[in-house]
């Protein structure tokens, strides 16, 4: 039976040998291309597309084309961990882009031990520790900050009774647990009436919403992804709960929501972290230029996030190359270390209007957000951009 396995091993070996021939810049990222939260995978495409954009307009970085790999993690932990191992060893990636909260947490020790800069799509506060986790980075305020922003905004509109709904995965549970244990709701002067957990791929949540209705909340915050928000709002409409009762986190700004639900989505609010797709900013002009010759898979705010991450990573690599005399470092671990240092050193970094200027010393870049609301089938800004308290 070993005969069967020699062919792929040879294939794999062959691949790994060729990778060491001349200095390359490989950036390896994974996302949920197929899976439970595929509706938000614009960010995975955005980052990869930015690297392609650099290749097409500037010939890469310092004349070396970027080898940007986008793999399918399928939102399955074992798949994501397998991809990490491939990225860090076979592909010799200088920067790795992760996806899920669960995978990033599981890889806390590995990324530090392997000394490879890791940009996660998660906003979990457990991953934010510049001292203990020097190689872990994210791109925006934590989930906890988002929850507090959402609830604060509701409070300003007169809400007092709060219900939190979350998915039964690490992404759903952890931030809600933190909020609960730190009594964040009470500190805001509101009352946490109930916390409801539901299956992360549930297709019917009517009974849960009946339970919500019984508790007579003034605001319901959803810590889950777009797919489940659609189910929640739809089932809420069934029993007469209005969409303006609900607030979602950043992963709920998705054209699919008003498209599918039409009037059952009017008044739904979500936390917005970046400038939306289509707004006339320098980054959008770059994207439009790119779209002339390339297909853009997802035209939404998540793509903007991805583009931002691409910018940030590329800038760090560029600075690392500059610091090495304009040549791509031969030794991959030195390259990774240098990139990590440059990433953490980014100050007042311009993202072409997608976000305020970034300072990466805190490993998250910025702490600003605003509330968006669905009106007339589209997301529009509901408040000003606010600086969030450095909670975690």
Partner 1 sequence: MKRYLPYLLFIAALAITPFLDRFVQSLVYNFAIAAMAALAVNIMIGFAGQITFAAGALIGVGAYAGGLLGNAGLDVVSLLGAGLVTAAISVFIGLPALRLRGLYFAMSTLAAQFILEYLFKNVDPVTNGLSGLLIEPPKFFGIAIDTEFRTAIAALILLLLVWLACRNLTQSQLGRAFLVMRESEIVAKGMGINVPQTKFWCFALTGFLMGIAGAMLGFSTHIANPEAFGISLSVDYVAMMIIGGLGSLTGSLIGAAFITLMPEIIQRIGEHLHLGSRIFAVREIIFGALIMLFLIFEPRGIVALFSSLKGNNQTPGASTAK
Partner 2 sequence: MISMQLAVAGIAIGSVYALIALGIVLIYKASGVVNFAQGGYVMCGAYVTYALLQAGLSPFIAIPLGILLLGLLGSATEYFVLRPMLRAPVVAVMMVTLGILITMRGVVLFFYGSDTQPFPRVFPTGLMSFGGVMITSNYLIAATASVLLVVAFIIFYQRTTLGLMQRASADNNKAALAIGIHVSNQINLAWFLSSALAGFGGILLATLNGVHDSLADIGLIAFPVIVLGGLSSLGGALLAGILLGLLESFTNGMLAPTLEMWLRAHTKIYSVGAIQQVIPYAVLVLVLFGRPQGIFGKRGAERV
Residues that bind partner 2 (CB under 8 A): 32-35, 38-39, 168, 177, 180, 194-195, 197-199, 201-208, 210-211, 213-214, 227, 230-231, 234, 237-240, 256, 259-260
d(CA 280, CA 339): 31
Taking CA atoms, 30 is separated from 9, 127, 142, in Å, by 23, 18, 21
Closest approach, Cβ 261 to partner 2, in A, equals: 9
Options 57, 89, 288, 333; binder of partner 1; rule CB under 8 A: 89
Choose, by CB under 8 A, the member of 65, 82, 161, 322 that binds partner 1: 82
Closest C-alpha to 220, from 258, 163, 167, 151? 163
Q: Tell me, rounded to whole angstroms, the distance of Cα 232 from its chain centroid.
A: 22
Residues 100-129 that bind partner 1 (CB under 8 A): 102, 105-106, 109-110
The answer to whether 108 touches 134, Cβ cutoff 8 Å, is no
Min dist CB 381 to partner 2, Å, is: 25
Give the Cβ contact number of residue 57 at 10 Å: 11
Min dist CB 69 to partner 1, Å, is 8
CB of 237 to partner 2, least distance (A): 6
Distance, first Cα to last Cα, the chain: 52
- Which of partner 1, partner 2, none has residue 204 at its interface (CB below 5 to 8 Å by kind)? partner 2
Structure tokens at 311: 């910018």
Strands 386-387 and 368-375: antiparallel
Work out what residue 207 binds among partner 1, partner 2, none; the CB cut-off runs from 5 to 8 Å by kind: partner 2
Q: Which of residues 158-177 bind partner 1 (CB under 8 A)?
A: 168-170, 172-174
Nearer to partner 2, 32 or 392 (CB): 32
Structure tokens at 26: 């490989």
Q: Which does 305 bind (CB under 5 to 8 A by kind): partner 1, partner 2, none?
A: none
Angle, CA 296 vertex, CA 378 and CA 272 arms, to 5°: 35
Cβ 137 to partner 2, closest distance in Å? Answer: 27
SS (HEC) of 180-201: HHCCHHHHCCCEEEEEEEECCC
**Residue 256: contacted member of partner 1, partner 2, none (CB under 5 to 8 Å, by partner type):** partner 2
Whole-angstrom distance, CA of residue 138 vs CA of residue 367: 11
Residue 52 binds partner 1 (CB under 8 A): no
Torsion of CA 288, 293, 298, 299, to 10 degrees: 20
The site for partner 1 (CB under 8 A) is made up of: 1-2, 4-5, 7-9, 11-13, 15-16, 33-34, 70, 72, 74, 76-78, 81-82, 85-86, 88-90, 102, 105-106, 109-110, 168-170, 172-174
């Amino acid at each position: 039976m070993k005969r069967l396995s020699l062919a792929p091993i040879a294939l794999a070996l062959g691949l790994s040998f060729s990778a060491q021939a001349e200095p390359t810049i490989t950036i390896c990222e994974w996302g949920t291309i197929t899976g439970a939260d595929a509706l938000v995978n614009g960010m995975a495409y955005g980052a990869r597309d930015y690297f392609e954009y650099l290749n097409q307009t500037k010939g890469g970085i310092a004349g070396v084309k970027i080898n940007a790999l986008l793999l399918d993690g399928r939102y399955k932990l074992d798949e994501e961990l397998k991809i990490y191992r491939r990225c860090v060893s076979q592909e010799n990636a200088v920067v790795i882009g992760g996806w899920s909260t669960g995978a990033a947490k599981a890889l806390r020790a590995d990324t530090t031990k392997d000394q490879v800069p890791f940009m996660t799509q998660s906003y979990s506060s457990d991953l934010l520790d510049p001292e203990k986790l020097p190689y872990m980075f994210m791109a925006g305020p934590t989930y906890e900050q988002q929850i507090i922003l959402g609830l604060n905004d509701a409070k300003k509109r007169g809400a007092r009774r709060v219900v939190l709904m979350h998915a039964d995965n690490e992404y759903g549970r952890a931030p809600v647990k933190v909020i609960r244990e730190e009594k964040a709701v009470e500190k805001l002067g509101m009352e946490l009436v109930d916390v409801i957990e539901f299956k992360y791929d549930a297709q019917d949540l009517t009974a849960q919403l009946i339970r919500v209705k019984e508790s007579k909340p003034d605001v319901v915050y959803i810590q889950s992804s777009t797919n489940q928000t659609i189910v929640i709002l739809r089932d809420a409409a069934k029993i007469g709960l209005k969409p303006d009762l609900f607030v979602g986190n950043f992963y709920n700004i998705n054209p699919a929501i008003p498209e599918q639900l039409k009037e059952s989505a009017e008044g739904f609010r979500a936390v917005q972290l970046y400038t939306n797709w289509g707004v006339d900013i320098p980054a959008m002009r770059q994207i439009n230029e790119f779209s002339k010759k390339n297909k853009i898979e997802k035209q939404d705010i998540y793509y903007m996030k991805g583009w931002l991450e691409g910018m940030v990573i590329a800038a760090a690599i560029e600075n690392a190359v500059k610091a090495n005399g304009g040549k791509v470092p031969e030794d991959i671990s030195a390259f990774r270390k240098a990139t990590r240092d440059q990433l953490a050193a980014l100050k007042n970094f311009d993202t072409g209007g997608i976000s305020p200027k970034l300072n990466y010393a805190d490993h998250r870049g910025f702490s600003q957000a605003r509330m968006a609301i669905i009106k007339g089938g589209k997301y529009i800004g509901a408040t000003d951009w606010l600086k969030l308290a450095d909670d975690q």
